[in-house]
A and B are shown apart, each in its own frame.
Chain A
Amino acid sequence: MTATTAGSRPTHRERQPIRWGTPVAYVVAAIVILLMLAPVAFIILSGFRTNSQITTNPAGFPNPWEVGNYLAVLTGDIFWREVLNSLIAGLATTAGVVILGLMASYVLARYKFKGRGALYATFAAGLMFPMTVAITPLYIVVKNLGLMNSLTGVILPQIAFALPTTIIILVPFLKAIPDEIQEAAFMDGCSRIGFFWRMVLPLATPGVITTGILAFIGSWNSYLLPLFILNDEAMFTLPLGVQAFSSQYSVDTARVLAFTALSMIPALIFFSVFERRIVGGLTGAVKG
């Protein structure tokens, strides 16, 4: 073992082949992956069974394969309407967070004025207020604004609660450009706003993408806030929909499993596309 660790030192120039490591490592990794994926596989596979198959043998494979459950969900309008609602809420939240966050971070990073520290501290303090704690009064605020039962009533608070993280991640990105370059740009007649578009924004793109992804996933999976704000089924987002569907069709287990499996898919696709960004963003945030 020691030899492996020490031997992997890249002393010579030529690229070393990746080592195989010990069998133990593979066995452990295999077991862990099995544990992680078995429940997911169970949900997806059981969606291809009939209720009688599930009742007689809860843990069996589909035999014969039954696509009716999935077809029923996919051809009905409930699932798609909820996907659309979730998508609207997610995209609007992401856009709002990124735009407002960038604007505020730009000022905090590159303007010098009285009260700048206090302003930053105010936003940073927001991290101490998780939505769980604020949910009851938040519900009253949204109700008084007349935004009950509307996606706007979900989107606005989500933007507000995502702002602190966004600002804290973005400010360092926006600070990264040396002041000399800014001075030079101003000297050449570039306005602050022009400098923002031409210099700052391109360099801050990685930070913007990370915060955008975090905001979108947060919104996509969000449950507590929609639970308080959205009562009308037509407005339900996917998490509310999954819960409503599973209580409404509680006897039709197969259909609930199919619905649950389908509602996992958008998140899984999104994750596999942005996996590097998500993991990289978390890594960066911790190292920060």
Chain B
Amino acid sequence: MSVRESAVARPPQTDLLASGGSAVSLPPTPRKARAGWRGRLEIGLLVGPALVMFLGFVIFPVVMAAYYGFFSWQGFGVPTQFVGLRNYITILEDPTFQQALWHNVLIVVLSLVLQGPAAILLALLLNRKLRGQSLIRVLIFVPYVISEVVVGTGWSLILATNGGLNGFLNDIGLGALAQDWLADPNIAIWTLMFIITWKYIGFAVILFLAGLQGIPEELSEAAAIDGASWWQIQRRITLPLLGPTLRIWAFLSIIGSLQLFDLVYIIWGQYVSSTAGTSTMAIYMVTNGRNSGNYGYGNAVAVVLFLISLIVALVYQRFVLRRDTEGAITGEGKKR
């Protein structure tokens, strides 16, 4: 499953996080316990397969990653060459990794800054009465549905030095603007950001539209009667009430950006991405782990990537999503 695809499937997670972990304890179901052997057998038969699959393919590998990370290991047999924390020290001292980490940070920040405002404006625009509104929604969502590989292959052909974009610029007399969009280290990261925005903004717009539709119309109507302008209504009423949706989207975007792999790997490949300044931690992990046969090292990178994502997720939950748990904004809105 690609990085952002898991983001589609992700909203419930934020639901889980937003409720401050309380979602893990289910509300009590008022029913008499029926702990007969038959009941137990049913439970076992029904949950068993899912649990075995889940523990075997999700939990076990993650636990093993932490274990393998302490070894120098080529992926054959049982790891024997224990190296302690040396893998981790190498990772953190490697300038290539530091660059990749820095690119990830850039991508996180730029994704929020570029996609957020644009998507809000589009959602506000589309939330008004427009002819052909549903068609516009579908079309904005198209890039999101196409797989990263196809998107990457297509864009790398368009953006090649002799590709479609430079050709188009020449045709309309702006040939001076033609660039080496993919290889120039000053430009490549912006090219990547453009492609990311193009691919994922539809997701943000759809989320925001869903959020906007949850805001009662009476609020803006009342404000309009009191003489508020359209912009005032959006700024004072709509945006604050959209807060929870915005924070959920930001969370998904941050996690997705930290895990970014497919697009960069397809367009730049494992070697070019570091010279073009677009490598990410996941690229580093695959390049220095599997592709060079150092499985112990690759697992250590996975652990680092996981810990960074986990810390970011926990901090975000603690300081940002928490407001939603307390209902600071939604509750207030309802009270009014």
Could you list which residues of chain A lie within 8 angstroms of chain B, going by C-beta atoms? 1-2, 4-6, 8-9, 18-21, 25-26, 28-29, 32-33, 35-37, 39-40, 42-43, 46, 55, 57-60, 100-101, 103-104, 106-114, 116-117, 119-141, 143, 156-165, 167-169, 171, 175, 179, 182, 192-193, 214-215, 217-225, 228, 238-240, 242-243, 246, 253, 256-257, 260, 263-264, 267-268, 270-272, 275, 278-279, 282-283, 285-288
- A32 close to B140 (CB less than 8 A): yes
- B259 close to A133 (CB less than 8 A): yes
- B46 close to A106 (CB less than 8 A): yes
- B153 close to A168 (CB less than 8 A): no
- Of the candidates A59, A167, A169, A239, the one whose C-beta lies within 8 Å of that of B168 is A59
Residues of B within 8 A of A264 (CB): 146, 150
A42 to B32, CA, bound (A): 63
Residues of B within 8 A of A108 (CB): 26, 47
CB nearest neighbor in A for B203? A282
Known: A225-B1, A283-B210, A285-B12. A271 touches B142 (CB 8 A): yes
A223 to B157, CA, bound (A): 19
* Cβ of B99 to closest chain A Cβ, rounded Å: 19
- B5 close to A222 (CB less than 8 A): yes
- Of the candidates A28, A58, A267, the one whose C-beta lies within 8 Å of that of B125 is A28
Known: A141-B60, A224-B262. A58 touches B43 (CB 8 A): no
- Of the candidates A103, A135, A158, A224, the one whose C-beta lies within 8 Å of that of B49 is A103
- Of the candidates A58, A60, A117, A139, the one whose C-beta lies within 8 Å of that of B26 is A117
- A25 close to B12 (CB less than 8 A): no
Known: A100-B50, A242-B149. A133 touches B306 (CB 8 A): yes
- B299 close to A104 (CB less than 8 A): no
Could you list which residues of chain B lie within 8 angstroms of chain A, going by C-beta atoms? 1-3, 5-6, 8-13, 15-16, 23-26, 29-35, 39-40, 42-43, 46-47, 49-51, 53-54, 56-62, 64-65, 68, 75, 122, 125-126, 128-131, 136-143, 145-150, 153-155, 157-158, 162-168, 170-171, 198, 202-203, 206-207, 209-211, 213-214, 217, 220-221, 224-225, 227-230, 233, 245, 248, 255, 259, 261-262, 266, 282, 285-286, 289-290, 295, 298-299, 302, 305-306, 309-310, 313
Q: When A and B form their complex, what is the total count of cross-chain residue pairs whose Cβ atoms lie within 8 Å?
A: 365
- A113 close to B46 (CB less than 8 A): no
Known: A132-B305, A169-B12. A58 touches B164 (CB 8 A): yes
- A158 close to B1 (CB less than 8 A): yes
- Of the candidates B49, B149, B155, B202, the one whose C-beta lies within 8 Å of that of A39 is B155
Known: A36-B143, A282-B206. A163 touches B54 (CB 8 A): yes
* Cβ of B301 to closest chain A Cβ, rounded Å: 8
Question: Does more than half of chain B's interface fall in helix, strand or loop, or is it mixed?
Answer: helix
- A217 close to B65 (CB less than 8 A): no
A257 to B155, CA, bound (A): 11
- A132 close to B3 (CB less than 8 A): yes
Known: A29-B126, A124-B23, A263-B150. A131 touches B6 (CB 8 A): yes
- B9 close to A37 (CB less than 8 A): no
- A168 close to B3 (CB less than 8 A): no
CB nearest neighbor in B for A171? B26
* Cβ of B173 to closest chain A Cβ, rounded Å: 13
- A129 close to B210 (CB less than 8 A): no
Most buried by B among A39, A120, A138: A39
Residues of A within 8 A of B171 (CB): 57, 59-60
Most buried by A among B61, B207, B289: B61
- B220 close to A36 (CB less than 8 A): no
* Cβ of A5 to closest chain B Cβ, rounded Å: 5
Residues of A within 8 A of B30 (CB): 179
- A136 close to B65 (CB less than 8 A): yes
- Of the candidates B40, B61, B255, B285, the one whose C-beta lies within 8 Å of that of A138 is B61
- A223 close to B12 (CB less than 8 A): no
CB nearest neighbor in A for B211? A286
* Cβ of B211 to closest chain A Cβ, rounded Å: 7
A126 to B53, CA, bound (A): 12
Residues of A within 8 A of B24 (CB): 117, 120-121, 124-125
- B50 close to A130 (CB less than 8 A): no
- B129 close to A160 (CB less than 8 A): no
A114 to B203, CA, bound (A): 39
- A59 close to B50 (CB less than 8 A): no
Residues of A within 8 A of B54 (CB): 122-123, 126, 160, 163-164
